[in-house]
Structure 1
Amino acid sequence: MSQAREIEVKYRVRDLAGLADELYRRGVVLSPPVHQDDQAYAQDGWRYGMSKLGVAFARLRTQDGGHLFTLKRPTDNELACLEFETEVADRDQMHEAIQHMGFYPTVRIVKTRRSARLGDLSLCLDDVEHIGTFLEIEKVVGPGQTGEAVQAELHAFALSLGVELERTTDTYDSLVRAAPTGV
């Protein structure tokens, strides 16, 4: 079984109108907005401030009445991860199961997401409660490509948009936790 990795770069959007115009100019049509309610989990023993490399993190997402369980394990850095995802029928039961597997809940991330595809790139425009609007650019790769090399390619694409974006290497859970109203 080959293990695909999700590689991403993330930017705080400073010019939403300019970004929307540039995406439209390139023929990118964003999906209608969807509400995502994510509960993040960390392995017992891991705490904020520790390295995330090689550590498994779980997420339980509710969107459009359905639930997704995701496990991510950062490889090269926090935004280059092995990722496994599946639908689950019962959020409450999965929440309990995740805790019994040795994870504890960290933060809740609530956002409105609009997404699109552009070639082999996934673009996500997220309005995240407490922290603002972000653009994520993602690519799924197989073995043999380093996260840093793919992130450099994704960053070059972001720069080519010609709009004001502020890159961050933090994940949403870290950003929400650090926000003045984060929990």
Structure 2
Amino acid sequence: MREIEVKYRVGDPAALVRALESRGTAFSAPVRQDDQAYAANGWSYGQSKTGAAFARLRTENGRHTFCVKRPLDNELACAEHETEVHDRGEMHAAILAMGFHPTMRIVKTRRTARLDRMLLCLDEVEGLGAFFEIETMTSGEQPATQVQQELDRFARSLGVGLERLTETYDSLIRAALPVGV
């Protein structure tokens, strides 16, 4: 399966919620997600992510999930594999043993909604602000950029102020760090 998404910085989250509610979509209650991102040894920021493997260890409501993503067409179009794990500490050690190194910690409060084949995520990322993600899973041959254009058309149809971004949260957090950190 491929996860294809688009991401936006949101100036007015309440306006976004109202726009989606007017289409019959309601967001879930907020949940806190604590993510540790990892990159394969040898990869560092500034290099292309396309074709490289990245891992994530997430804790949400006491549940831990392990995910590996490999960007195919761009950072937001990935082959993805995810599973629940029992012990976060042991999984962290296993990820290191597999040849990955920790990159960024991403802590966010997420609210989700479903609309047709789209997962809509309204995120408040610590240190960065509010973001809106639209994700879809596909196994088809449709080019990722074409799917992203369709998702972007939907986002623009909501009529709220959105700034489209092409980076992942870890890259955004890294870019926001003071120089030399």
TM-score range, shorter chain: over 0.9
Structure 2 gap segments, 5+ residues each = none
Partner Cα separation in structure 2 for residue 105 and residue 180 of structure 1: 16
8 A contact 1:130–1:181 mirrored in 2: no
Go from structure 1 to structure 2 and tell me whether the alpha carbon gap of 1:39 and 1:181 turns closer, same or farther (over 3 Å shift): farther
Residue 157 of structure 1 aligns to a residue whose secondary structure is helix
Q: TM-score scaled by structure 2?
A: 0.97
Aligned length: 180
Residue 20 of structure 1 and its aligned partner are, at CA, apart by 1.2
The aligned counterpart of 2:133 is 136
Partner deviation per Cα, 1:33-82 (whole Å, 9 max, x = no partner): 00000000000000000000000000000000010000000000000000
Q: Which of 94, 97, 111 matches 2:94?
A: 97
Q: Which of 10, 13, 26 matches 1:29?
A: 26
Partner Cα separation in structure 2 for residue 121 and residue 133 of structure 1: 19
Partner Cα separation in structure 2 for residue 181 and residue 85 of structure 1: 32
Residue 181 of structure 1 and its aligned partner are, at CA, apart by 6.2
The residue identity in structure 2 corresponding to 1:149 is Q
Greater CA drift, 87-96 or 8-17: 8-17
The aligned counterpart of 2:174 is 177
Residue 141 of structure 1 and its aligned partner are, at CA, apart by 0.8
The aligned counterpart of 2:38 is 41
The aligned counterpart of 1:157 is 154
Residue 15 of structure 1 and its aligned partner are, at CA, apart by 1.7
For 1:49-68, what aligned pairs fall within 5 Å after superposition? 49-68=46-65
Q: Displaced runs of 4+ in structure 1, greater than 4 A? A: none
Q: Which of 81, 84, 92 matches 1:84?
A: 81
Q: Which of 160, 165, 174 matches 1:168?
A: 165
Partner Cα separation in structure 1 for residue 64 and residue 57 of structure 2: 7
Residue 164 of structure 1 and its aligned partner are, at CA, apart by 0.2
8 A contact 1:60–1:70 mirrored in 2: yes
Residue 180 of structure 1 and its aligned partner are, at CA, apart by 3.5
Partner Cα separation in structure 2 for residue 167 and residue 46 of structure 1: 26
The aligned counterpart of 1:71 is 68
Residue 17 of structure 1 and its aligned partner are, at CA, apart by 1.9
The aligned counterpart of 2:6 is 9
Partner Cα separation in structure 1 for residue 77 and residue 93 of structure 2: 27
Residue 145 of structure 1 and its aligned partner are, at CA, apart by 1.2
Structure 1 gap segments, 5+ residues each = none
Residue 40 of structure 1 aligns to a residue whose secondary structure is strand
The residue identity in structure 1 corresponding to 2:84 is E
